[in-house]
């Protein structure tokens, strides 16, 4: 790596930068709005800080990232990667449905869920939803708190009244969040259980967002279908 492909092809020049391990995932995190080092780390937890630092420096050197007062932000050049990154993600979503247990991670899932929660759809005031991964021992219970347009996800009981409890395996909820399967279908198959008063129960699925890629894929499929 770090060596040139010896090709003038713009794709080759792009891949010289982007095909280094982890690099595209860091760009993804930046596109999703993370700017602090430790924020970025949460998005790529299996990466050592040393390596993350090194990659960020490389991205800065290539003019993709700007590092100022402790914030990493995409430059115009970096933001322009949006289309390509989405295309790659949509392709992955469409063609690589299966993933192994080693790809499941409740922290990562809740971190993702947290930042796609459509707070506007939630009731006014404070609302707390509990999530229980029925197949886990550790990191089994989570609480999602929305108040004043702010979201918090924590793995300890914050002590607020719980409006609804969502129960599913980690794999199932991951599939639902990715958009591989709808809430409705998962609930019909009894793979997801929502414990709450009936009227609340109907709303809960709308309180969760889903991956941007799921929306992008749906949009693309709708277009190509006519």
Residues that bind its own copies (CB under 8 A): 1, 4-15, 17-25, 28, 44-46, 63, 77, 80-81, 83-85, 87-96, 99-100, 102-105, 108-109, 112, 174, 178, 211, 213
Of the candidates 128, 137, 132, 195, the one whose C-alpha atom is nearest the C-alpha of residue 168 is 132
The only residue of 11, 13, 15, 21 in contact with DNA, by rule CB under 7 A: 21
User: Residue 92: which of its own copies, DNA, none does it interact with, CB under 5 to 8 A by kind?
Assistant: its own copies
Q: Does 222 bind DNA (CB under 7 A)?
A: no
Among 7, 11, 57, 82, binds DNA (CB under 7 A): 57
Distance, CA of 160 to CA of 22 (rounded, Å): 38
Residue 50 makes contact with DNA by CB under 7 A: yes
Nearer to DNA, 2 or 76 (CB): 2
**Residue 201: CB minimum distance to its own copies, A:** 26
How far is Cα 106 from Cα 109, in angstroms, rounded to an integer? 5
Spatial separation of the C-alpha atoms in residues 149 and 124, rounded to whole Å: 9
Which of residues 24, 25, 31, 47 is near DNA by CB under 7 A?
A: 47
Please identify, among the stretches 34-42, 77-85, 86-94, 166-174, the one whose residues bind DNA according to the rule CB under 7 A. 34-42
- Of the two residues 57 and 87, which places its CB atom closer to DNA in the complex? 57
Q: Does 39 bind DNA (CB under 7 A)?
A: yes
111: contact with DNA by CB under 7 A: no
Helix axis angle for 212-225 and 82-95, nearest 10°, is 80
Q: Which of 11, 14, 15, 46 binds DNA (CB under 7 A)?
A: 46
CB of 95 to DNA, least distance (A): 22
CA distance 161 to 144: 11
For 180, the token pair is 């591989």
| CB of 4 or CB of 161, closer to its own copies | 4
The residues of the shown chain that bind DNA, judged by CB under 7 A, are 1-3, 20-22, 36-39, 46-51, 53, 57, 67, 70, 72
């Amino acid at each position: 790596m770090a060596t040139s492909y010896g090709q003038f092809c713009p794709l080759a020049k792009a891949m010289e930068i982007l095909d280094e391990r982890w690099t595209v995932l860091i760009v993804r995190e930046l596109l999703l709005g993370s700017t602090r080092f430790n924020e970025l780390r949460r998005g790529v937890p299996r990466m050592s800080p040393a390596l993350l630092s090194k990659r960020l420096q490389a991205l800065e050197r290539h003019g993709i990232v700007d590092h100022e007062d402790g914030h990493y932000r995409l430059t115009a050049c970096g933001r322009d990667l949006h289309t390509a990154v989405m295309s790659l993600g949509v392709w992955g979503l469409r063609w690589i449905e299966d993933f192994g247990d080693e790809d499941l991670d409740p922290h990562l899932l809740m971190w993702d869920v947290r930042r796609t929660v459509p707070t506007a759809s939630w009731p006014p005031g404070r609302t707390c939803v509990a999530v229980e991964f029925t197949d886990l021992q550790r990191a089994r219970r989570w609480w999602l708190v929305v108040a004043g347009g702010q979201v918090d996800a924590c793995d300890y009981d914050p002590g607020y009244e719980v409006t609804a409890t969502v129960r599913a395996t980690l794999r199932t909820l991951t599939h639902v969040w990715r958009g591989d399967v709808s809430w409705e279908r998962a609930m019909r198959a009894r793979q997801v259980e929502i414990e709450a008063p009936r009227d609340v129960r109907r709303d809960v699925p709308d309180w969760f967002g889903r991956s941007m890629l799921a929306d992008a894929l749906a949009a693309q499929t709708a277009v190509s279908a006519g």
